[in-house]
Structure 1
Amino acid sequence: MRVAVVVLTLLLAGLGPGCGGRPPIPKRGVVESDLGGWKFRRYQPVLDVEVYVGANPAEAYTASYVRDEAEKRGRIEDADLVNVFVTRYQKAPGVLRETVRFARRLAQEAGYTVEEGKVGGVRALTITGNGEAWVMWAASRHVVKVGGRGRDGVPAGMVEAYGDRYPSVLPSGVLEGALPEPELEAGEGKPVEDDPKAPYDPDNPQADVGDVNTDKLDQQIEDKKRRDEEQRKADEAELERQDAERKKKKR
C-alpha cells in the first residue's frame, strides 16, 4: 500500500506545471502579466478584426508591454514598447488561408516587406515597412501579431512567449505557390469554400467568376493603417501618463 501511495504521488507531481507543458491560452486573448523583462501595462478589446474570414465571427484583444529598463531610467522610447494583437475566431477553418492571403497583399500593394521564417522558435511572417515591424502567425482559431511602430525588429522573447500559448500552424514556404488548402469544416468533412469576391491570385487561380472585387482586402489594409495610428496615439497617451506619474512622485 505504501508503494502504491508513493507511485500515485509521483504521478500526480508529474502532472503539475513543472512538467514542461505549454502554458494555457489566456481567457481574454493576451497575457495580462509581465513577460521576462517586459512589464504588462495595458489591455484593451478591439472592435475591428484585421484578418477577415468569411462566415467566421471573431473578436480581438490587444496588450502593451514596456521594457523594464526603460521604466527604471524614466524615459520610454518606441523601441521600449511592444504591442500584441490576438484575434480569436469562432472556428479554425479559413484562418490560415486568409492570414497568408492578407500577408501577400501587404507585400504586393501596401509597401511592406514580408518574409517567412522562425522567430523565437515560432514559424511566422515578419512584416516590416512604413515605420513598423511585426511578427505575425496563424494558430488554431487565432491570429497573433507582435511588434509596433518605430521599431527595427521584434523581441524574440515576446514572440516565443506567445508562441508557447498559440503554436503556429504556418507551413514552410507559405509565401510561395498556391495558398494553403482550405481546412475541412469540423465534423462535416467538406472544405471551406473560397470567397468569390476574393482578389485574383496568379499563384492560386480559381474558376472565372467575373470581375474580381478587391474592395474587401483594400478595406482591410486601410483598417490596419487606421488601427495602427489609433494604437500609436494610445501608446503616446499612456507614456505621457506614466511620465506624469513619475514626475509627481519625485515632487
Structure 2
Amino acid sequence: NESLGKINDLKLAGLRICNYQDEQNLSVDKWDIIIVQVESLSRIEFSARQLVAILDETNAILRQMNSGANARESENAMRDILRTAQHVLAMDAFANESTLTFLKAYRGENIRVIDNKFQPLVGKTVEYLYDPNSGAEAMRIGCELLQQGKRVAFVLTSCNMARALVEKASKLQRPDNSPVKARAYYGDMDGKQRKKDFSDINMAWGELDCVAYTSTVEAGISFEKTDHFDAVIGITNIVTPVNVEAFVQMMFRIRD
C-alpha cells in the first residue's frame, strides 16, 4: 500500500526495489529493497547476504503474524529475519513491554529504545460523542458539513455502514449545487479500484469530498495532502469492535 511516488523516489536513487505482488523471485540477492506484508514473508528467499529489517507498525505486524492462510510460514520467516538481520529497526507509536519481549526473544538484550516525544496534533480539537443510535448523530453531523461545502472522512468499523453512508453522501449537494464526490473502502470492494487508489492515495482522495473506510485502510496508507479534509469522524461500536490501536491507526491515515 505504499504510495507509487515514494517507490519511484527510491528507484531514482538507484536502488533495486520491487512490489512483491508483481514478482515471482523474491530473493534478497536480487533486490536491494523488498516492501512486503507480513502475511507474504514466506515468499522471500533468504541467503547469506546481510540485511537490515525495518518493522513499521510492529504491533500490527504481531497481530497479522497469527492470521491468514500462511500464518505458520510467515512466523517462521519473521523469526529468520529477526535472528539473521544485521540491524532491526522496529517502530510503533504504541510500543510496550509486549513489543520489547517479542524483540528480545529473537535479538537478545542488545536493544535500544528511542522514545519520540513529537506531538504533531497539539492544538487540534477532538470531540467524543456518545451516540446510542448506532452513530446516526455523528453521520448527521458529517452530512451537514458536506452540505456546507466541507470535506469529511468517516472512519468506521462496519462495511455496511460505510457503503450506506457513501450512498447517502453521494445524493447530497454542495453549496454550488455540485454533487458530493464520495467513495467507500472496505474489504470486499472492487479490487481494481482499490489498487488504483492506493497506488497514489494523495491523488485519489484529493479528488473526493468524502471518504468512508473500514480497517482495510490501516497501516501503510498516508494521505498527506494538507488542508483537504475539514473533519475526520470515527464511528465504532461494540457490535463490530476493533482493536483500539488499530482504530487510532485507521483515523490517522489522514495526516493533516
Normalising by structure 1, report the TM-score: 0.23
Tell which has more relative contact order, 1 or 2 (C-alpha 8 A, sep 6+).
Answer: 2
Normalising by structure 2, report the TM-score: 0.23
